[in-house]
Chain A
Amino acid sequence: MRVSIISKTLAGLFVVLSASSLHAADFSLSELMQQLGQKKSGTATFVEKKYIAMLKQPLESSGELAFTAPDRLEKRTLKPKAEAVLLEGNKLTLERSDGRKMSVNLSDRPEVSAFVESIRATLSGDRNALERYYTPSLSGGSEEWQLKLTPLQARMQKVISQIRIAGSRAQVKTIEFLQADGDRSEMTITGTSAK
Chain B
Amino acid sequence: MKTRLFKPVILIWLAAMLASVLVISQTRFVADLSAFMPKLPSARQQMLIDQLRDGAIARLVLVGIEGADEDERGRLSRLLVGKLSGNPRFTAVQNGDRQTQQRDQQYFFDNRYLLSPAVTPQRFTAAGMHDAIQDTLLAMSGDAGLIVKKILPRDPTGETLQILEQFMGESQPSTSKDIWVSRDGKRAVLLLQLAESGLNTDAQATALEDVKQAFASLPARHADTRLVMSGTSVISVASRNIIQSEVERLATLGTLLVVALLLLVYRSLPLLLLGLIPVVSGALVGIASVSLGFGHVHGLTLGFGTTLIGEAVDYSIYLFIQRAGGGNPSHFWRTIRLGVLTSITGFAALMCSSFPGLSQLGLYSISGLVTAALVTRYVLPLLMPARLNLRDLSKPGLLLQKVLDGLTRLRWLLAVAMLAAVAVLALHHQDIWNRQLNALSSTSPAQNKLDAELRADLGGNDMRYVASFSAPDQESALQLAERTRRVLQQLNRQNVIGGFHTPDELLPSIATQRARQAALPPAGTAAPRLAEALQGLPVDASQLQGFVSDVTRAQQQALLSRASLHGSAASVLLDSMLIKRPGSDLVLMPLRPASGENIALDKVRAALAAQQLGQVTVIDLLEETTAIFDSYTHEALLFSSLGSLAILLLLGVTCGWLQAARVTIPLGCAVLCTVALLDACGIQLTILHLVGLLLVVAIGSNYALFFANKQQLGSAAEQRQVEVSLVVANLATVTSFGLLGSSNVPVLSYIGSTVAIGALLALLFAAMMARMTPRALSD
Contact = CB atoms under 8 A, between A and B. Distances in A.
A59 B540 contact: no
Interface in A136-183: 159, 179, 183
B174 to A, nearest CB: 4
B169 A77 contact: no
Nearest to B177: A110
B168 A102 contact: yes
B169 A101 contact: yes
Contacts of B140: 50, 52, 59
B488 to A, nearest CB: 15
Interface residues of B, number: 25
A54 B543 CA distance: 7
B737 to A, nearest CB: 51
A107 interface: yes
Contacts of A159: 146
A61 B168 contact: no
Contact of B141 (A75, A80, A94): A80
Nearest to B149: A52
Nearest to B150: A181
A3 B727 CA distance: 75
A57 B138 CA distance: 13
Interface string B144-185: 111001001100000000000000110000111000000101
B81 interface: no
A105 B174 CA distance: 9
A81 B174 contact: no
A159 B146 CA distance: 9
Contact of B538 (A56, A81, A94, A108): A56
B422 interface: no
A179 B153 CA distance: 18
B462 interface: no
A61 B142 contact: yes
B539 interface: yes
A88 interface: no
Given A54-B539, A55-B539, A59-B137, A102 B169 contact: yes
B501 to A, nearest CB: 16
B763 to A, nearest CB: 60
A132 B243 CA distance: 53
Given A56-B539, A108-B175, A100 B169 contact: yes
Contact of B142 (A55, A56, A57, A81): A81
A57 B145 CA distance: 15
Contacts, number: 60
A101 B538 CA distance: 29
Contacts of B174: 105, 107-108
Contacts of B175: 108-109
Interface string A92-133: 001000101110010111100000000000000000000000
Contacts of B176: 108, 110
Contacts of B137: 55, 59
B153 A54 contact: yes
A105 B176 CA distance: 12
B466 to A, nearest CB: 23
Contacts of A186: none
A75 B143 CA distance: 9
Given A100-B169, A108-B174, A108-B175, A59 B141 contact: yes
A108 B174 CA distance: 5
Contacts of B145: 50, 59, 185
Interface in A31-81: 48, 50, 52, 54-57, 59-61, 75, 77, 80-81
A99 B62 CA distance: 34
Contacts of A56: 538-540
Given A105-B174, A159-B146, A183-B149, A57 B169 contact: no
B540 A94 contact: no
B596 to A, nearest CB: 15
A55 B174 CA distance: 35
Contacts of A22: none
A94 B143 contact: yes
A108 B540 CA distance: 37
A54 B148 CA distance: 12
A77 B142 contact: yes
A160 to B, nearest CB: 9
Nearest to B174: A108
Interface in B505-547: 538-540, 543
Contact of A57 (B149, B152, B183, B538): B538
Nearest to B185: A107
Interface in B328-369: none
A61 B174 CA distance: 31
A19 interface: no
Contacts of A50: 140-141, 145
A100 B140 CA distance: 18
Most interface-central of B142, B152, B169 (chain A CB within 10 A): B142
A107 B174 CA distance: 9
Interface string B387-428: 000000000000000000000000000000000000000000
A75 B169 CA distance: 20
A54 B219 CA distance: 49
Nearest to A82: B142
Interface string B177-219: 0000001010000000000000000000000000000000000
A36 B396 CA distance: 91
Nearest to B153: A54
A48 B142 CA distance: 9
Contacts of A98: 493
A85 B144 CA distance: 10
B143 A81 contact: no
A109 B185 CA distance: 12
A119 B144 CA distance: 16
B146 A179 contact: yes
A94 B185 CA distance: 23
A78 to B, nearest CB: 11
Interface string B717-744: 0000000000000000000000000000
Nearest to A80: B138
Given A85-B143, A108-B176, A100 B153 contact: no
B638 to A, nearest CB: 49
Contacts of A179: 146
Interface string B106-149: 00000000000000000000000000000001111111111001
Pick from A52, A54, A100, A101 the residue with the most CB of B within 10 Å.
A54
Nearest to A56: B538
A48 B137 CA distance: 14
Contacts of B138: 80-81
B544 to A, nearest CB: 9
Contacts of A183: 149
A57 B183 CA distance: 42
B399 to A, nearest CB: 71
A98 B137 CA distance: 18
B447 to A, nearest CB: 26
B139 to A, nearest CB: 8
Nearest to A75: B143
Interface of A: 48, 50, 52, 54-57, 59-61, 75, 77, 80-81, 83, 85, 94, 98, 100-102, 105, 107-110, 159, 179, 183, 185
29 contacts: A50-B140, A52-B140, A54-B543, A55-B137, A55-B539, A56-B538, A56-B539, A56-B540, A57-B538, A59-B137, A59-B145, A61-B142, A80-B141, A81-B139, A81-B141, A81-B142, A83-B143, A94-B144, A100-B169, A105-B174, A105-B183, A107-B174, A107-B185, A108-B174, A108-B175, A109-B175, A110-B176, A159-B146, A179-B146
Shortest 4 CB-CB contacts between residues of A and residues of B:
A59-B141, A108-B174, A56-B538, A61-B141
Interface of B: 137-146, 149, 152-153, 168-169, 174-176, 183, 185, 493, 538-540, 543
Given A50-B140, A108-B175, 17 more contacts: A50-B141, A52-B140, A59-B145, A75-B143, A80-B138, A81-B139, A81-B141, A83-B142, A83-B143, A94-B144, A100-B169, A101-B169, A107-B174, A108-B176, A109-B175, A159-B146, A183-B149
